[in-house]
Structure 1
Amino acid sequence: MTEREQPPVPVEESDKVVAPKAGGLMRSGLVVSVMTMLSRVMGLARDVVIAALFGAGQGADAFFVAFKIPNFMRRLFAEGAFNQAFVPVLSEAATRGSRREVRELLDAVAGSLAAVLFLLTALAMFAAPWLVWVFAPGFGRDPAKLALTADMLRLTFPYLLLISLTAFAGSVLNTWNRFAVPAFTPVLLNLSLIGAALLLTPLFEQPAMALAWGVLIAGMAQLAFQVPFLVRLGLMPRPWPSFAHPGVRRIMALMAPALFGVSVSQINLLLDTVLASLLAAGSVSWLYYSDRLVELPLGVFGIAIGTVILPALSRRHAEQSGEHFSAMLDWAIRAVLLLGLPAALALALLAEPLLIALFHYGAMTERDIAMAAMSLRAYSLGLVAFMLIKVLAPGFFARQDTKTPVKVGIVAMVANMVFNLLLIWPLAHAGLALATALSAFLNAGLLGWLLRKQGVLVFQPGWGRYAVQLLGGCAVMGLALAWAAPEWQAWLGWGIWQRVAWLAALVVGGAALYFAWLAATGVRLRHFRMKS
Structure 2
Amino acid sequence: MNRLLRAGAIMAAGTMVSRVTGFLRTAVIAAAIGTTLLGDAYNVAYQIPFILFDLLIGGMLSSVIVPSIVRAQQRDPDGGVAYEQRLMTLALLLLVSVATLGVLLARPIIELYTSDLTPRGVEVAATLARYILPQIAFFGLGAIAGAILNTRDRFAAPMWAPVLNNLVVIGVGLTYIVIVGGTDDINEVTAGELALLGLGTTAGIVAQSIALVIALHRAGFRFRPRFDFRGSGLGELARLGGWALAYVAVYQVGFVVTTNLATAAGVRAAAEGADYGAGWTPYNYAYQLFQLPYGIIAVSVITAMLPRMSRFAAEGRFDSVREEFASGVRTVCSLIVPGGVLLMVLGPAVTVLIFSHGANSTEDAIYIGNVLQVFGLALVPFSLFQLLLRVFYALGDTRTPAFIAAGNATFNATLSVLLYLVLPARYTVLGLALSFAVTYVVSSAVTWMLASRRVGGLGGRHVLDGLGRMYGAAVPCAALALGVLWATRGLLGLDAVGAIVMLAAGGGLGAGVYFVLANRMRIPEVKSIVGMVAGRLAR
TM over 0.5: yes
The 1:209–1:487 alpha-carbon spacing in structure 2 relative to 1, beyond 3 Å, is farther
What does residue range 117-266 of structure 1 map to in structure 2 within 5 Å?
Answer: 117-139=95-117, 142-200=118-176, 202=179, 205=190, 207-261=193-247
Query: 2:465 and 2:493 mapped to 1: Cα distance?
Result: 44
2:18 is matched with: 39
Q: CA deviation at 1:114?
A: 0.8
Contact 2:66 2:151 (C-alpha < 8 Å) held by counterparts: yes
Q: Does 1:89 align with 2:68?
A: yes
Q: CA deviation at 1:271?
A: 2.9
2:340 is matched with: 344
1:326 is matched with: 322
Q: What secondary structure, in the 3-state scheme, does the structure 2 residue paired with 1:362 have?
A: coil
1:471 is matched with: 471
What does residue range 42-53 of structure 1 map to in structure 2 within 5 Å?
Answer: 42-53=21-32
Query: 2:409 and 2:495 mapped to 1: Cα distance?
Result: 43
Contact 1:156 1:212 (C-alpha < 8 Å) held by counterparts: yes
Q: CA deviation at 1:346?
A: 0.9
The 1:339–1:184 alpha-carbon spacing in structure 2 relative to 1, beyond 3 Å, is same
The 1:85–1:249 alpha-carbon spacing in structure 2 relative to 1, beyond 3 Å, is same
Q: CA deviation at 1:442?
A: 2.6
2:271 is matched with: none
Q: Does 1:276 align with 2:266?
A: no
1:26 is matched with: 5
Q: CA deviation at 1:179?
A: 0.5
Query: 2:419 and 2:461 mapped to 1: Cα distance?
Result: 40
The 1:488–1:406 alpha-carbon spacing in structure 2 relative to 1, beyond 3 Å, is farther
- Let me know the Cα RMSD of the aligned residues: 2.5
2:184 is matched with: none
Contact 2:157 2:212 (C-alpha < 8 Å) held by counterparts: yes
Query: 1:200 and 1:34 mapped to 2: Cα distance?
Result: 30
Q: Does 1:424 align with 2:420?
A: yes
Counterpart of 1:218, as a letter, is G
Q: What secondary structure, in the 3-state scheme, does the structure 1 residue paired with 2:43 have?
A: helix
Q: CA deviation at 1:250?
A: 1.4
Query: 2:287 and 2:332 mapped to 1: Cα distance?
Result: 19
The 1:270–1:190 alpha-carbon spacing in structure 2 relative to 1, beyond 3 Å, is farther
Q: CA deviation at 1:443?
A: 2.5
Q: CA deviation at 1:420?
A: 0.8
The 1:456–1:107 alpha-carbon spacing in structure 2 relative to 1, beyond 3 Å, is farther
Query: 2:251 and 2:97 mapped to 1: Cα distance?
Result: 26
1:6 is matched with: none
Contact 2:258 2:413 (C-alpha < 8 Å) held by counterparts: no
**Range 336-345 or range 265-274, more displaced:** 265-274
Query: 2:246 and 2:513 mapped to 1: Cα distance?
Result: 39
Counterpart of 1:91, as a letter, is V
Q: CA deviation at 1:132?
A: 0.2
Q: Does 1:297 align with 2:293?
A: yes
Q: What secondary structure, in the 3-state scheme, does the structure 1 residue paired with 2:522 have?
A: coil
Q: What secondary structure, in the 3-state scheme, does the structure 1 residue paired with 2:172 have?
A: helix
Q: Greater helix percent: which structure?
A: 2
Q: What secondary structure, in the 3-state scheme, does the structure 2 residue paired with 1:137 have?
A: coil
Query: 1:242 and 1:528 mapped to 2: Cα distance?
Result: 49
Query: 1:165 and 1:520 mapped to 2: Cα distance?
Result: 47
Residues 85-125 of structure 1: CA deviation (Å, up to 9, x unaligned): 111111112123222x6121012111111111111111110
The 1:341–1:458 alpha-carbon spacing in structure 2 relative to 1, beyond 3 Å, is same
Q: What secondary structure, in the 3-state scheme, does the structure 2 residue paired with 1:485 have?
A: helix
Counterpart of 1:429, as a letter, is V
The 1:502–1:526 alpha-carbon spacing in structure 2 relative to 1, beyond 3 Å, is closer
Residues 24-50 of structure 1: CA deviation (Å, up to 9, x unaligned): 211111111111111110011112212
What does residue range 337-486 of structure 1 map to in structure 2 within 5 Å?
Answer: 337-425=333-421, 426=423, 427-459=427-459, 462-463=462-463, 465-486=465-486
Contact 1:353 1:491 (C-alpha < 8 Å) held by counterparts: no
Contact 2:48 2:133 (C-alpha < 8 Å) held by counterparts: yes
Query: 2:385 and 2:436 mapped to 1: Cα distance?
Result: 13
What does residue range 509-528 of structure 1 map to in structure 2 within 5 Å?
Answer: 509-525=509-525
Residues 437-489 of structure 1: CA deviation (Å, up to 9, x unaligned): 22222332222111112235431884454233212111111111121213686
The 1:527–1:488 alpha-carbon spacing in structure 2 relative to 1, beyond 3 Å, is closer
Q: CA deviation at 1:505?
A: 2.1
The 1:264–1:456 alpha-carbon spacing in structure 2 relative to 1, beyond 3 Å, is farther
Aligned partner (choices 106, 113, 138) of residue 84 of structure 2: 106
The 1:389–1:175 alpha-carbon spacing in structure 2 relative to 1, beyond 3 Å, is same
Q: CA deviation at 1:69?
A: 0.8
2:36 is matched with: 57
Query: 1:200 and 1:185 mapped to 2: Cα distance?
Result: 24
Residues 162-212 of structure 1: CA deviation (Å, up to 9, x unaligned): 012101000000000101110111112211110111125628825454232
The 1:168–1:437 alpha-carbon spacing in structure 2 relative to 1, beyond 3 Å, is same
**Range 105-114 or range 254-263, more displaced:** 254-263
**Range 51-60 or range 393-402, more displaced:** 51-60
Query: 1:78 and 1:490 mapped to 2: Cα distance?
Result: 50
Query: 2:15 and 2:439 mapped to 1: Cα distance?
Result: 26
**Range 278-287 or range 496-505, more displaced:** 496-505
Query: 1:487 and 1:54 mapped to 2: Cα distance?
Result: 33
Contact 1:169 1:227 (C-alpha < 8 Å) held by counterparts: yes
Query: 2:63 and 2:528 mapped to 1: Cα distance?
Result: 25
Query: 1:417 and 1:50 mapped to 2: Cα distance?
Result: 29
The 1:456–1:27 alpha-carbon spacing in structure 2 relative to 1, beyond 3 Å, is farther
Contact 1:327 1:460 (C-alpha < 8 Å) held by counterparts: no
2:274 is matched with: none
Aligned length: 505
Residues 40-91 of structure 1: CA deviation (Å, up to 9, x unaligned): 1001111221222222133211110110111233345443223421111111
The 1:128–1:518 alpha-carbon spacing in structure 2 relative to 1, beyond 3 Å, is same
Instruction: Flag structure 1 segments of 5+ consecutive residues without an equivalent.
Output: 1-21
Query: 1:418 and 1:461 mapped to 2: Cα distance?
Result: 32
The 1:456–1:255 alpha-carbon spacing in structure 2 relative to 1, beyond 3 Å, is farther
Counterpart of 1:358, as a letter, is I
The 1:311–1:324 alpha-carbon spacing in structure 2 relative to 1, beyond 3 Å, is same
Query: 1:492 and 1:127 mapped to 2: Cα distance?
Result: 51
Query: 1:76 and 1:299 mapped to 2: Cα distance?
Result: 20
Query: 2:233 and 2:166 mapped to 1: Cα distance?
Result: 34
Contact 2:64 2:240 (C-alpha < 8 Å) held by counterparts: yes
**Range 431-440 or range 208-217, more displaced:** 208-217
Q: CA deviation at 1:216?
A: 1.1
Counterpart of 1:240, as a letter, is R
Counterpart of 1:190, as a letter, is N
Q: What secondary structure, in the 3-state scheme, does the structure 1 residue paired with 2:455 have?
A: coil
Residues 227-250 of structure 1: CA deviation (Å, up to 9, x unaligned): 222222222321234442432211
2:186 is matched with: none
The 1:494–1:371 alpha-carbon spacing in structure 2 relative to 1, beyond 3 Å, is closer
Instruction: Flag structure 2 segments of 5+ consecutive residues without an equivalent.
Output: 181-188, 268-276, 530-539
Query: 1:419 and 1:468 mapped to 2: Cα distance?
Result: 28
